[in-house]
Amino acid sequence: MRLIASANFTAWIQQHGLDAVAANVDIQAMMMGEGGHEWIEHGNDPLRQTRVMKRLIDQHGLTMMRDAWRACQDAEVVVSSFTSDVYAVSIAEKLRAKHISTPLQPTLVATRSGMATMNAPLPNRVSLVNYLFGKILIEPYGWRLMGAINNRFRQETLGLPPQSYRENRRGLHRMLVVQGYSAHVVPQPHDWPANIHTAGYWFLDEDRAWQAPQELLEFIHTGEPPVYVGFGSMTGRNPRALTDTIVQAVAQSGQRAILQAGWAGMGDTELPPGIFLLDAAPHSWLFPRMRAVVHHGGAGTTAESLRAGVPMVIVPHLADQPFWGARVAALGVGPQPIPRNRLTAENLAAAIRQATTEPAMRDRATELGATIRAEDGIGAAADVIEAYLGKEDS
């Protein structure tokens, strides 16, 4: 199997016995640049976010597509996700390969279920309104962002004729979709076609032998369990101001905290004794030891928080993060999300207090965590994919 990723991830991929192709677009560098900062700052405004994303795709999209084509040479199966599905259709067509999409969030197919619709007008209801919203805005979203560049890629690189949105959509409907999240978090809609499957979460437990630094262990075990705060790959123009907001919120909440620096470089200042600055630690080890988890709402971090069975506070920055924040609140395992551009010390402190003091919220988080730990998402996904490949080969 061959994976394409930013160059700083290729060594880690190769450690797992897979072939890695280094992409020419460095996602971390892009997120730390002006375009990435603008995307994050406007991530909770769908219209402005779309304009920023369109600008980034116009700048980097053709390079990303050509990188993907380079990585897919001689492939019999092309595996994509919601960020690459549109042009992966073209690559699979050129190679006459099978096509599988493996999103970590609900696929962009219209449904009446607001629970499985990004930015749904009626997020917790089953309604025709959600379906029409999906047809008009959700399904065409990827094509509106990259359809023009996809056609340039088809003509200049693949030697294929341009295609219409409808033709691209037909290719998307033919592919197998295997979603890497739990149906207990986002129930499978009854009106989705049979090619869409919800397998469960895919956890990579590679750090079972990880040894925590003594200082971290001492901090965790000195007093009540702390709260974790970290925004992962999300960056910002002013990490010190964000750190100050977090420090004030932790003090007002009456909790201790572990602050993970992340790509934003938080914690580059003197911290009070009640906050421990952490460079990195496996979430699978860390989160079960926390009283609550505050994070950005990325699909992977949300999955680990749910599996740990602790309440969480989501501060969404962009993309699918507002969706996961809304689902967590609807499930009762966390307070209402706080969009990054509305974050204050006061509302973050209030959310942390709610997550750490409401017994019902903790009970729901504990129960859902046990349910998720009992699932075998990897096994379920493998069964679906093997059945699909076997059927296609027969």
Closest by Cα among 138, 142, 84, 72 to 111: 138
Q: What is the pLDDT of residue 54?
A: 85
Q: Is residue 209 part of a domain?
A: no
Question: What's the pLDDT score for residue 41?
Answer: 65
3-state secondary structure 204-222: CCCCCCCCCCHHHHHHHHC
DSSP run (H or E) holding 370: helix 359-373
Task: Verify that 193 and 124 share a domain, yes or no.
Answer: yes
- Tell me what pLDDT residue 40 has: 65
User: Residues 256, 385: one domain?
Assistant: no
Residue 64 lies in a domain: yes
Structure tokens at 258: 């572990």
Q: Which residue ranges in the chain fall short of pLDDT 50?
A: 394
Q: Mark whether 100 and 225 lie in a shared domain.
A: no
Do 251 and 284 have their domain in common?
A: yes
pLDDT in tens, 24-58: 887 766 666 666 666 666 556 677 777 877 888 88
Structural domain for 161, as ranges: 2-204+376-393
Same domain? For 136 and 170 the reply is yes
- 135 and 231 belong to one structural domain: no
pLDDT for residue 43: 55
Strand partners for 52: none
Express each pLDDT in 371-394 by its tens digit: 999 999 999 999 999 999 987 553
Query: Are 46 and 194 within one domain?
Result: yes
Domain shared by 95 and 137, yes or no: yes
Let me know if residue 274 belongs to a domain: yes
Q: Based on the fold, state whether residues 349 and 382 are members of the same structural domain.
A: no
**CA terminus-to-terminus distance, the chain:** 22
Statement to judge: residues 33 and 173 lie in one domain: yes
Q: How many domains does the chain have?
A: 2
What CATH number corresponds to the domain at position 313? 3.40.50.2000
**One-letter amino acid of 228:** Y
Q: What is the pLDDT of residue 295?
A: 95
Domain match, 142 and 259 both: no
> Please, are residues 305 and 324 in contact by the beta-carbon 8 Å criterion?
no
- Looking at residue 270, its pLDDT comes to 84
Residue 184 inside a domain? The answer is: yes
User: Looking at the structure, do residues 154 and 239 belong to the same domain, yes or no?
Assistant: no
Q: Are strands 257-260 and 227-229 parallel, antiparallel or unpaired?
A: parallel
What would the pLDDT profile of 282-333 be if each residue is shown by its tens digit? 999 999 999 999 999 999 999 999 999 999 999 998 889 999 999 999 999 9
The C-alpha atoms of residue 168 and residue 86 are separated, in whole angstroms, by 7
Those residues whose C-beta lies under 8 Å from the C-beta of residue 131, and which sit 6 or more positions away, are 110, 111, 112, 191
pTM equals 0.91
Contact by Cβ (8 Å): 367, 359:
no
| Cβ(312)–Cβ(288) below 8 Å | no
